[in-house]
C-alpha cells in the first residue's frame, strides 16, 4: 500500500478490458502522454539532442513481504514529499524543466490540475533563467500545446483574487504553441524551444 504525505491511500486507476475504445483512451490518457514524452526524450538522448528525464517520485517503503527470497512485495509505502514537475534536463547548455497535464474539457484548461508547490517550483526555475513550460493536452480534440510557465503564472495568481479557475482554450491557442504529433520523435517540443530561445 502506498500513501500520500497526508496519509491518504494511493489508488491507481482501474481499467476494464471490456471498455469501449474511447473509454479506454480516456482512462489511460495520462499514461499515453507520459509514454509518448518518455519515447521522445529517449529519441533526443539517443540522437545527442538533449538530456531530459522523468523525475522519479520519492517513495519511502514501510512494509515489505518476502514470499520468496527472489521476490519482494511492497505492502506499504508513503510518498516522502510532494513532487515538483514531471521532467527536467539540459538542452544546449540551459536547464529545462516542464510539467505535462491533460484535460477532457473542450473550452478551457482547469488550473486544479496544478498544485501550489509545482507553480512555486516553476517560478524559481524562471527566476534562475531556466527554460520552463507546461505541455497541455486537450484529449477531446487531440491537441497538444507548449505553454510557457511565465504565461501560466498570471492565470494561477488570479485564483487568489477570486478570478476564474481555468485557462480559456482560446488563450492557450494564442499564447501557447501547437505541437504537431509525429512519429520520431512523437512529441517534438524541442522544435518549439529552438524557435523561442535559440
The pTM (predicted TM-score) of the whole model is 0.75
List the CATH number of the domain containing 165: 3.40.1350.10
Range of the domain at 61: 2-197
Cα distance between residue 142 and residue 167, in whole Å: 17
Confidence of residue 75 (pLDDT cuts 50, 70, 90): confident
Chain centroid to CA 59: 18
pLDDT in tens, 113-150: 999 999 999 999 999 999 999 999 999 999 999 999 99
Cα distance between residue 149 and residue 6, in whole Å: 27
Would you state the pLDDT for residue 71? Answer: 79
Would you state the pLDDT for residue 18? Answer: 40
Burial annotation 169-189 (CB, 10 A radius, 16+ → b, else e)? beebeebbbebeeeeebbbbb
Q: What is the mean pLDDT of the chain?
A: 85
Q: How many domains does the chain have?
A: 1
Cα distance between residue 64 and residue 193, in whole Å: 44
pLDDT in tens, 155-195: 999 998 889 999 999 999 999 999 999 988 999 999 999 99
Cell triple for residue 86?
Answer: 514531471
Largest CA distance in the chain: 57
Amino acid at each position: 500500500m502506498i500513501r500520500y504525505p497526508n496519509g491518504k491511500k494511493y489508488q491507481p486507476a482501474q481499467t476494464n478490458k471490456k471498455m469501449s475504445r474511447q473509454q479506454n483512451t480516456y482512462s489511460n490518457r495520462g499514461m499515453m502522454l507520459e509514454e509518448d514524452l518518455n519515447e521522445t526524450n529517449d529519441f533526443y538522448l539517443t540522437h545527442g539532442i538533449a538530456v531530459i528525464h522523468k523525475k522519479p517520485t520519492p517513495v519511502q517503503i514501510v512494509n515489505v513481504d518476502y514470499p520468496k527470497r527472489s521476490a519482494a512485495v511492497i505492502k506499504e509505502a508513503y510518498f516522502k514529499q510532494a513532487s515538483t514537475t514531471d521532467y527536467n534536463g539540459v538542452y544546449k547548455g540551459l536547464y529545462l524543466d516542464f510539467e505535462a497535464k491533460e484535460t477532457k474539457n473542450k473550452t478551457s484548461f482547469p488550473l486544479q490540475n496544478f498544485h501550489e508547490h509545482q507553480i512555486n517550483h516553476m517560478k524559481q526555475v524562471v527566476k534562475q533563467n531556466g527554460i520552463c513550460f507546461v505541455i497541455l493536452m486537450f484529449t477531446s480534440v487531440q491537441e497538444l500545446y507548449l505553454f510557457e510557465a511565465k504565461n501560466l503564472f498570471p492565470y494561477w495568481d488570479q485564483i487568489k483574487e477570486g478570478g476564474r479557475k481555468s485557462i480559456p482554450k482560446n488563450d492557450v491557442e494564442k499564447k501557447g504553441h501547437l505541437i504537431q504529433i509525429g512519429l520520431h520523435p512523437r512529441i517534438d517540443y524541442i522544435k518549439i524551444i529552438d524557435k523561442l530561445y535559440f
